[in-house]
Structure 1
């Protein structure tokens, strides 16, 4: 049997979004979030990333401040894509998280978010689309960082004015498990505020018998990831094979209901 075909890698030194030379490193967590979290020395020692997120085989790593190299992607974007091209996406995310930080207790109690209260009644659809594009930009960077080629559907969504998600799933929910996770890692000394779990990479395999022998093909099926900001969890899946039914844009209505879970395994 011949070897399986290799999954297509991310082109080294290239911006995964436009294909130009990569010369800019995006933050894995927005600087505005980090500045909000790093208010004193105790809190600056309580922010963790998963082993994969910081490219180490050790346990969860501690970030020492908002400029830590642990929280920056390598140069997998160009400056144009990372700055001017995605500036509206970054603003929409910053406004969203600022609202969450101000109204966290009420959001946890009501388990819902009204986009109109964040972005206004006349502009919430546009800004929610920008928020979604920020999340997919983050997803693309994480995929490229792990060495996989980012599916063309991600860049197509970022470049499109339409709220269409061909082969992409997005969602949000609430999760209360982070306190337990930190207790298991730090003997209860610190409080976790930011967490980037490892990506889940799912493959599909097929075997064909040809005149040249049995051939085994390994293909990417989908890659999924999450980003925890306090108890708010953003989740995404990028599919590499065509789906029978297209995925619907999740934020079509002004009020988004948040499921409450306890999902992190210790």
Structure 2
């Protein structure tokens, strides 16, 4: 998509989370602390290079560069005070997972990641990825995509501090990529069930963020959700090392953001 279209459409928009304040704060596509931990600090003389579907090898000379942030913004209050604990929970989990040798298929207990307040901290991780997902949905809608996914439900979850019933996470191994995939969606039949998702990749680890319509798909034990009876206290390591797979085995979804 053309990010400039989204920026123009959202230039005077209100924050999609609180719907009260002007959207004037940019959220990083990949968390700033993650970029710093994995890539270090870029400089004028030694920049990073950013690739997307439109352009390759775009120089990045600062971790606060505009290109690293979502085109659709939220307000400073939501981006800082309201979601600060969510950011910190993922920052801690990211650090712990990157320090471990994760074996595909193995189960990891959440209390091995968070020593205390496990339920609260894992919920905060869920809410952190809700924020990113919501920004991607807002961006898609700003660019004219009519996705059958209610953005208000994402707002309500963050505002209330409760999980989104239809958003699940998978934690897994990555193949060295750093960045965020586009948002993809699948429809089983016109007007029927919808599955959407995207991948957050951070060198050796990755998180798949999935929207799964309630009642439309059979529950999978490898999907983590705060309210899941079978997996809320642990998660299974998935394999996201796609560069090692036969591309013919991967179904092609619709790309929207």
Taking structure 1 as the reference length, the TM-score comes to: 0.68
More relative contact order in 1 or in 2 (CA 8 Å, sep 6+)? Answer: 1
CA shift digits 1:105-160 (9 cap, x unpaired): x224784433213321x411110000110011111112222325752221222233
Partner of 2:114: 119
For 1:204 and 1:91, the matched residues in 2 are separated by 37
For 2:49 and 2:34, the matched residues in 1 are separated by 11
Kindly indicate whether the alpha-carbon contact (under 8 Å) linking 1:25 and 1:76 is maintained by their aligned counterparts in 2: yes
For 2:224 and 2:157, the matched residues in 1 are separated by 11
1:83 paired residue among 80, 83, 97? 80
2:52 paired residue among 50, 53, 57? 50
2:96 paired residue among 94, 99, 107? 99
How many residues were matched structurally? 220
Partner of 2:165: 166
CA shift digits 1:163-183 (9 cap, x unpaired): 4x333232222233x4xxxxx
Q: CA deviation at 1:39?
A: 3.1
Question: Structure 2 unaligned runs (5+)?
Answer: 1-8, 249-257
Kindly indicate whether the alpha-carbon contact (under 8 Å) linking 1:166 and 1:246 is maintained by their aligned counterparts in 2: no
Moved >6 Å (runs of 4+): 245-248
Kindly indicate whether the alpha-carbon contact (under 8 Å) linking 1:50 and 1:198 is maintained by their aligned counterparts in 2: no
> Please, what is the CA RMSD of the aligned residues?
3.5
Partner of 1:144: 138
* Bigger radius of gyration among the two: 1
Question: CA 1:237 to 1:100, structure 2 compared with 1: closer, same or farther past 3 Å?
Answer: closer
Partner of 1:65: 62
Secondary structure of the 2:132 match is helix
For 2:179 and 2:39, the matched residues in 1 are separated by 15
Q: CA deviation at 1:238?
A: 3.0
Question: CA 1:125 to 1:47, structure 2 compared with 1: closer, same or farther past 3 Å?
Answer: farther
For 1:233 and 1:219, the matched residues in 2 are separated by 29
Partner of 1:256: 235
Taking structure 2 as the reference length, the TM-score comes to: 0.70
Question: Structure 1 unaligned runs (5+)?
Answer: 1-10, 52-56, 179-191, 207-217
For 1:76 and 1:219, the matched residues in 2 are separated by 31
Secondary structure of the 1:73 match is coil
Partner of 2:122: 128
CA shift digits 1:30-72 (9 cap, x unpaired): 1111222333669x65554432xxxxx2236453331222101
Kindly indicate whether the alpha-carbon contact (under 8 Å) linking 2:181 and 2:199 is maintained by their aligned counterparts in 1: yes
Kindly indicate whether the alpha-carbon contact (under 8 Å) linking 2:72 and 2:139 is maintained by their aligned counterparts in 1: no
Secondary structure of the 1:100 match is helix
For 1:196 and 1:62, the matched residues in 2 are separated by 17
